[in-house]
Amino acid sequence: MTTTTSQVNAVLRTPPAAPAAAAAYFSASLAFHADVSDVAAALAEGTDPGFVVIDSRSTASWDQGHVPGAIHLPTALIPEQAERLLDRSVPVVTYCWGPGCNGATRAALALAELGFQVKEMLGGFEYWVREGFAYETWEGPAEKAADPLTAPVDSDDCGC
């Protein structure tokens, strides 16, 4: 039986890209994004990870919780403070609340426009906490158990 275009499912209605185009796209994606687990692993090594982490949220959000060692630099303040707080030779990883927020994207854009190398941390602070990584609040250190829907509960490595 032959399938007509009207019978093709929504996934294949637009055909997949050619392998070379897909490889270029996914390679570029990795140049623009960092995974929460990879950022946490690099920071946990205890040596200079070769990047700095920027929390682009408001002071109230920062106080509620942030990645240990992150620099607080709200997006609106990047044009006036980035040059003073950051070294252009060190890549920057931005984050905001989570996948439903594009604040880290706006911060990354502002930094790139100023000449900084930058990546966006996918998942933001939400996934940092959901994956069970320690964080800091205005009251001190905090940590929650890993959410089994976002991180393996019996291993440090998801295998991906």
Q: What is the pLDDT of residues 7-59, one digit of tens each?
A: 889 999 999 999 999 999 999 999 999 999 999 999 999 899 999 999 999 99
Q: How far apart are CA 80 and CA 45, in angstroms?
A: 32
Higher pLDDT, 149 or 23: 23
3-state helix, strand, coil in the chain (%, to 5): 40, 15, 45
Amino acid, res. 46? G
**Would you tell me the crossing angle of helices 78-85 and 103-113 to the nearest 10 degrees?**
70
Higher pLDDT, 95 or 3: 95
**Mean per-residue pLDDT over the chain, rounded:** 92
Residue 119 per-residue DSSP state: E
Residue 33: per-residue pLDDT: 97
Give the model's confidence band at 3: pLDDT under 50 very low, under 70 low, under 90 confident, else very high. Answer: low
